[in-house]
């Protein structure tokens, strides 16, 4: 195909000297082809494999944002390695990882995960016989207890809310335990007022219901009744043009509230998720129930909240028995 295209371009170039006619003829020819820009340093063959891999992942239900991140990691890898995928060694991969000095351990784990997924695809499709990622060990993350607010701190945060929108945002984050992206994507039509549930789309494009308590219902109804717009988004901008509130803007809302109450703690949307889960565990909720509400695929992710509970019990015990 490349030879055929090259020949046609040569014929056009030899056939005319007029710049405008030449431009039009080339446009007409190139419009018959799908043209993709190859990132500098990447081979066309590598990019073909990468595009096929991304297509497979898309059919598996991965979000556009996730696919974009996958592609970015793999393009970076391809540019650095400058080798055919079949000749890449485990040492080449280690060199690439070491070239990213100063990155977080969690980022390192993500890079390895993406690369392992890519090479698993190449093995499955029989492009290669040996997987160089099999000898690459994923570093373990240190277990850190999630930083949750105490109920007193939660009340202070509530007192810092000035607008109806701020109050509704804080209550929805606390009541649902939802992730930032999940709450950003919420629509008014997702709410079942009678059942006090909101349908969210979580990681892996999985749908689940989350719950809202009476305080969240009250705050939401007051906020929604104050709005004059026709937007379906649950949280919108206050200034025109009225549109869905972005994740960055939601984070900014929390920063403004925290600044008003002079909190020492760094309170962001995910802290509300930790606070909700910790509160449930402390009030005797079963781990599997908390897991379902939070949308955790693995029980081990939820297990950390039980460790928080044990940690607090021990503190309470030591205050009594020294």
Q: CA-to-CA distance for 198 and 137, rounded, in angstroms?
A: 40
What would you report as the CA-atom Rg of the chain, rounded to the nearest whole angstrom? Answer: 26
90: preceding bond cis by omega (within 30 degrees): no
**Residue 282: in which H helix or E strand, if any?**
helix 269-282
From the centroid of its chain, how far is CA 69?
9
Token output for 288: 């599997």
Contact between 47 and 38 under an 8 Å Cβ cutoff? The reply is yes
**Counting every residue, how long is the chain?**
322
- Residue that is written with structure tokens 């969690």 in the block: 106
- Residue that is written with structure tokens 């802290």 in the block: 271
Catalytic positions: 179, 203, 270, 273, 296, 305
Q: For the packed helices 214-226 and 164-176, what is the interaxial angle rounded to 10 degrees?
A: 150
Q: 184 forms bridges with which residues in the sheet?
A: none
From the centroid of its chain, how far is CA 85?
28
From the centroid of its chain, how far is CA 23?
43
């Amino acid at each position: 195909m490349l030879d055929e295209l090259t020949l046609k371009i040569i014929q056009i170039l030899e056939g005319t000297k007029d710049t405008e006619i030449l431009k039009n003829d080339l446009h007409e020819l190139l419009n018959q082809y799908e043209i993709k820009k190859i990132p500098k340093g990447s081979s066309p063959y590598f990019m073909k494999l990468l595009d096929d891999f991304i297509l497979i992942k898309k059919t598996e239900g991965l979000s556009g944002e996730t696919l974009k991140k996958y592609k970015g990691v793999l393009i970076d890898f391809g540019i650095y390695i400058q080798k055919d995928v079949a000749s890449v060694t485990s040492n080449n991969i280690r060199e690439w990882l070491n070239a990213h000095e100063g990155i977080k351990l969690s980022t390192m784990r993500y890079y390895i995960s993406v690369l392992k997924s890519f090479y698993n695809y190449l093995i499955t499709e029989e492009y290669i016989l040996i997987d160089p990622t099999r000898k690459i060990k994923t570093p373990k993350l240190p277990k850190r207890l999630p930083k949750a607010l105490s109920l007193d701190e939660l009340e202070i945060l509530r007192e810092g809310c000035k607008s109806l929108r701020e109050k509704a945002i804080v209550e929805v984050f606390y009541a649902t335990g939802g992730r930032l992206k999940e709450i950003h994507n919420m629509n008014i039509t997702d709410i079942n007022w009678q059942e006090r549930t909101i349908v969210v789309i979580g990681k892996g494009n999985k749908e689940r219901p989350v719950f809202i308590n009476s305080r969240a219902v009250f705050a939401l109804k007051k906020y929604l009744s104050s709005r004059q717009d026709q937007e379906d988004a649950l949280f919108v901008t206050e200034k025109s043009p009225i549109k869905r509130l972005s994740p960055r803007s939601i984070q900014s809302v929390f920063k403004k509230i925290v600044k008003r109450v002079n909190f020492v703690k760094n309170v962001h949307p995910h802290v509300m998720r930790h606070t909700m889960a910790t509160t449930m565990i402390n009030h005797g909720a079963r781990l599997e129930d908390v897991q379902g509400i939070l949308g955790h695929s693995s029980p081990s992710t939820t297990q950390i909240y039980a460790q928080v509970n044990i940690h607090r019990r021990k503190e309470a015990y030591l205050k009594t028995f020294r």
